[in-house]
Structure 1
Amino acid sequence: MSSIMQVQQQLLGRMQQLAEVANGQPIRPASVPADGIGGSFEAALRSVDAEQHQASAAMAAVDSGKSDDLVGAMIDSQKASVSFSALLQVRNKLTTAFDDVMRMPL
């Protein structure tokens, strides 16, 4: 089979997949959990806290000589740092959105 026919077959297959998706169930918006935005933020906060504790325990184990997995401890530390930074950015965006809503004229 020539490469042009192969590409045409792939495109035809992709178009059929998209047609099936278009005829399927409509996409529904994400639902807000029963406990609301505050509960979601609290769950994220607890998750970041757990990562911080895990990284701290890994670093303590390396420092005390109980573990020689320095690379793993550093990766855990970086994961916790990135998670914390992302959480701060979300908090800042939520704070800015709240301030914007409060400044809206009635």
Structure 2
Amino acid sequence: MSVQGIDQVLGELKAMSALAGGQAVAQAQPIAGSPDFASMLKSSLDQVNQVQQDAQAQQLAFQSGAPEANLQDVMVSLQKASLSFQTMVQVRNKLVSAYQEVMSMQV
């Protein structure tokens, strides 16, 4: 996730907080050409999925005895897939936490 995307999410959270507090909110105009949060999240999920599929394909190639598959590359790709999945889980946990915090605000 880029810095611009993080700034956009923080701006949306601040706007929701101000709205929940009864303050008037100036609607921020999205930056031209910038993707929305849902599309950024979907593309991140797709990237994690692609890394996992690539790692699985390399693992199956190594198990079947393909000459181009070497153990070091397979292990590195499996670790990358694991790390990307763990990162995505942490992002999900932070999003759930932020959502719960916004929902628990008094109106």
TM-score range, shorter chain: 0.5 to 0.7
Counterpart position of 2:63: 63
Question: Where does structure 2 lack aligned partners over 5 or more consecutive residues?
Answer: 9-32
Report the residue type matching 1:48 in the other structure: V
TM-score, structure 1 as length reference: 0.68
Q: Give the distance between the partners of 1:91 and 1:60, measured in 2 at CA.
A: 29
Q: Which amino acid aligns with 1:92?
A: N
Matched, 1:91 2:92: yes
Greater gyration radius = 1
Q: Which runs of 4+ in 1 moved over 3 A?
A: 31-35
Which letter maps to 2:102?
Answer: V
Q: 1:77 aligns to what? A: 78
For the residue of structure 2 that corresponds to 1:71, the secondary structure is helix
What corresponds to 2:43 in structure 1?
A: 43
Opposite residue 87 of structure 1, the aligned amino acid is M
Amino acid at match of 1:65: G
For 1:83 and 1:62, the matched residues in 2 are separated by 22
Structure number with the higher helix fraction is: 1
Q: What TM-score results when the alignment is normalised by the length of structure 2?
A: 0.67
Q: What is the aligned-residue RMSD (CA, Å)?
A: 1.7
Q: Comparing 78-87 with 62-71, which one deviates more in the overlay?
A: 62-71
Aligned to 1:30: 4
Whole-angstrom CA distance in 2 between matches of 1:60 and 1:30: 38
Q: What is the count of residue pairs matched by the alignment?
A: 78
Q: Deviations over 1:52-84 (max 9, x none)?
A: 010000000000001340110010000000000
Q: How far apart, CA to CA, are the structure 2 residues paired with 1:101 and 1:50?
A: 32
SS at match of 1:30: helix
2: CA distance, partners of 1:69 / 1:62: 7
What residue in structure 2 maps to residue 105 of structure 1?
Answer: 106
Separation in structure 2 between the aligned mates of residue 82 and residue 52 of structure 1, nearest angstrom = 10
